[in-house]
Amino acid sequence: MPRRYGLALAAVATTTTITGSVTDAAADPHPVVWSPPGAPEPRPRTVAHAAAALNAKVATVAHRGASAYAPENTLAAFRLAKTKHADVFELDVQETKDHKLVILHDSTLARTTNVETVYPGKKPWKVSSLTLAQVKKLDAGSWYSAKYKGQRVPTLAETLSAMRGSGLGLLLEIKNPASYPGIEGRIAAELKRSPSWLRADPNERRLAVQSFDWTSVNRFHALLPAVPTAVLGTPAVADLPKVAKYADQVNPPYKGLTASYVKKVHAAHMDVLTWTLNDRASVQKAVKLGVDGIISNKPDIVYGVVRSREAV
């Protein structure tokens, strides 16, 4: 069975390792789990993870923070994600010219900062062309609202520190890794400097690392194999056993996603988190497909649907 990052919810004190259900574990200390031909070996799970799976809750993931209500990929958006009932906040990591890890979605700073005004001669304003000191002079909030004037582009280190103890998990996307050779190692090193994010805690989701570049995901997995990883996109069904050797999640776009595909990903011992859903009707349909998590700019919408489903 998979290492169900998305379902690590239950507040269970014990962390006894099992490979079957809670009932099986109690009856047989060495349960045997059948796997289909070609599937990877089952990854260890804790009683907490298994107990959570029995009462599966769909994870609410705040896309770039609560980005419908605050400037994306800022500390304000990440903190607001908690208020909007997210379980996890998602962010994008890129690099500055001096190889500092910053939180930014686009390769250029033009859309989400005042870089065109501050550095008019540096078009096209790629983050990789500016040092961290230069990036820190930019306003990353005013483009969204005057209320957020003075928000800065945060570093990964600042974000890990600010959100430590928030109770939220982190879904970290490695953005454009081909543009930043070695970025996987620098992210791994930064995470090691914030060990609380690497700690296995049965009471809360902690961390997963994803990318559209599956080779980058594999490289990161080799560096920190205990950290759950995810591929963004929709791997062919025939490739799922291969992907499962280094990934714990397949995170596909919602468009075209089917219940059959979700079941096949689960059969390959991985979770499914889909994106980006911002209306109640779409969220309801996604939940019926059997997904493990929904990534949204409006986490409160997802929370409302999930909560009403649990109340039935």
Per mean pLDDT, which range of 16-25, 211-220, 247-256 is the poorest?
A: 16-25
> pTM of the predicted model, to two decimals?
0.84
Helix (H, G, I), strand (E, B) or coil at 28: coil
Instruction: Give the pLDDT score at 109.
Output: 98
Q: What's the CA gap between 310 and 76, in Å, rounded?
A: 29
Residues annotated as part of the active site: 63, 105
pLDDT grade for 297, boundaries at 50, 70 and 90: very high
> CB neighbours of 121 closer than 8 A, spacing ≥ 6?
none
Residue 11 has pLDDT above 50, yes or no: no
Domain ranges of the chain: 57-311
Residue 176 has pLDDT above 70, yes or no: yes
Instruction: Give the pLDDT score at 309.
Output: 82
Q: What's the CA gap between 116 and 262, in Å, rounded?
A: 43
Residue 103 has pLDDT above 60, yes or no: yes
Q: What's the CA gap between 281 and 295, in Å, rounded?
A: 14
Residue 23 has pLDDT above 70, yes or no: no
Residue 96 has pLDDT above 60, yes or no: yes
Asked whether 128 and 94 are in contact (CB, 8 A), the reply is: yes
Percent of the chain clearing pLDDT 90 (strictly above): 78
Q: What's the CA gap between 77 and 73, in Å, rounded?
A: 6
Q: What would the CATH number be for the domain defined by 57-311? A: 3.20.20.190
Q: In one letter, which amino acid is 220?
A: F
Q: What's the CA gap between 105 and 176, in Å, rounded?
A: 9
CA atoms within 13 A on the CB side of 215: 5
Instruction: Give the pLDDT score at 284.
Output: 97
Instruction: Give the pLDDT score at 312.
Output: 61
Q: What's the CA gap between 29 and 278, in Å, rounded?
A: 44
Containing H/E element for 62? strand 59-62
How many Cβ atoms are within 10 Å of 15's Cβ, its own excluded? 12
pLDDT tens digits, 138-165? 999 999 999 999 999 999 999 999 999 9
Instruction: Please compute the mean of the pLDDT values over residues 188-210 and round it to a whole number.
Output: 85
In the chain, where does DSSP find H-type helix? 22-27, 47-54, 75-83, 115-118, 132-135, 156-163, 183-192, 214-223, 240-243, 259-267, 280-289, 299-311
Residue 34 has pLDDT above 60, yes or no: no
Is the backbone peptide bond immediately before 31 cis, with ω within 30 degrees of 0? no
pLDDT tens digits, 48-92? 233 334 346 899 999 999 999 999 999 999 999 999 999 999 999
